[in-house]
A and B are shown apart, each in its own frame.
Chain A
Amino acid sequence: MASAFLRALSSLADRHLLPIWLKSLALTLLVFAVLAGAGWYGLSALIDRLWPNDGLGDAVAVLVVVLAGWLLWRILALAVLQFFADEVVLAVESRDYPEMAARARKLGLHEEGLKAVAGAGRALLYNLIALPIALVLAVTGVGAPLVFLAVNAVLLGRELQDMVWLRHRPSPDSPPPLSGVERLLLGGVIAVLLTVPVANFVAPFLGAACAVHLIHRKGRSLA
């Protein structure tokens, strides 16, 4: 696992991946700015109406925006990654696994768009389900972040694996290439990195590259 992450880091420095990363980051930042701006404006207008001239309203707003912003970034960044997944997976494979690059099915814009929307919907749904549980555990201090970390580790592990596997699986009912523990570790590391400022810019691409390395190195050792 650790060596797959190291290889993924070196993949990120590849000049073929850099333009894809830049355009995906630009798109994510743009959509994030629009949605976050609209959300902030709407929320402050709502709070002004509910609790006029009250400092408490502002404090609540800051808390909600930070939490929503983190969730929004995680969902958006992954959706944008899915949208460019053909190019991302191919760029990593072309450098390190040229034989696998020639075997990767191209999903095309339509299917990639569907995957992006489905992934974003799933992330939103499960995080909203986790929200009341996290609120109950908020008194423990560490409980609430751990709930979100667990939920997103599972979701991200699955999403990153499928991103590569969709292109290579022999048939839709082929067994998944990574074990549950491997998926959880991959998803967990990326979920943590997605909460760290600056690192969250690279985290989705690091996860995608790591999934490529994990799956293809496994495939090589089996072959």
Chain B
Amino acid sequence: MTGKLIPLASLTILLSACASGGAGPGSAKGPVARVPVRVPASAPPPRPRVLAAPGLDGVIGARIPELIDQFGPARLEVWEGDARKLQFTGSACVLDIYLYPPAPGREPEATYVEARRASDGQDVDRAACVAALRGR
């Protein structure tokens, strides 16, 4: 068994030595590749990724007035280009809702939700937080 392995192993070592010896000097002498200039994107922005999770009906896909109807006035509204982030808070948890326009020029719709415990920022269940904030 070992008698067969030793020649095989030494062959591998020889081959690898060949490969590294050949590539090393060649790559050092070659011309420096030009970095292509980045062209600003002319295509429309891609469609936002939409969070799919149970218990978030009425939140995902909702627009700002519909969210305020459910949760009351937002504590925080952050503008980020044509996207928005709204923050709603209760005694139990903090709910951050991210809204992106489904197509250029359209009103932003909620696509993503984050929920964390008000006391220490640990992750809590999104649907449970939504239910608690609605029930106030």
Contacts and interface: CB of A to CB of B under 8 A. Distances in A.
Interface residues of B, number: 20
B135 A101 contact: no
B124 A103 contact: yes
Contact of B117 (A93, A99, A105): A105
A98 interface: yes
Contact of A106 (B92, B120, B125): B125
Contacts of A101: 125, 128, 131-132
A86 B128 CA distance: 12
Interface in A93-113: 93-94, 98-106, 108
Contact of A104 (B90, B118, B128, B131): B128
Contacts of B120: 170
Contacts of B90: 102
A108 B125 CA distance: 11
A153 interface: no
A95 B3 CA distance: 70
Interface in A66-93: 86, 90, 93
Nearest to A108: B123
Interface residues of A, number: 15
Interface string B58-96: 000000000000000000000000000000001111000
A105 B122 CA distance: 6
B123 A106 contact: yes
A98 to B, nearest CB: 5
Interface in B87-131: 90-93, 115, 117-120, 122-125, 127-129, 131
Nearest to B134: A98
B124 A104 contact: yes
Given A103-B92, A103-B93, A103-B117, A98 B124 contact: no
A98 B122 contact: no
Interface in A102-131: 102-106, 108
Contacts of A170: 119-120
B123 A102 contact: no
Contacts of A86: 125
B91 to A, nearest CB: 8
A98 B91 CA distance: 12
Given A93-B128, A104-B124, A104-B128, A98 B135 contact: yes
Interface pairs A-B: 4 shortest CB-CB:
A102-B132, A101-B128, A102-B92, A105-B122
Interface of A: 86, 90, 93-94, 98-106, 108, 170
17 contacts: A90-B128, A93-B128, A94-B127, A94-B131, A98-B135, A99-B92, A99-B132, A100-B92, A101-B125, A101-B132, A102-B128, A102-B133, A103-B92, A103-B93, A104-B124, A105-B122, A106-B124
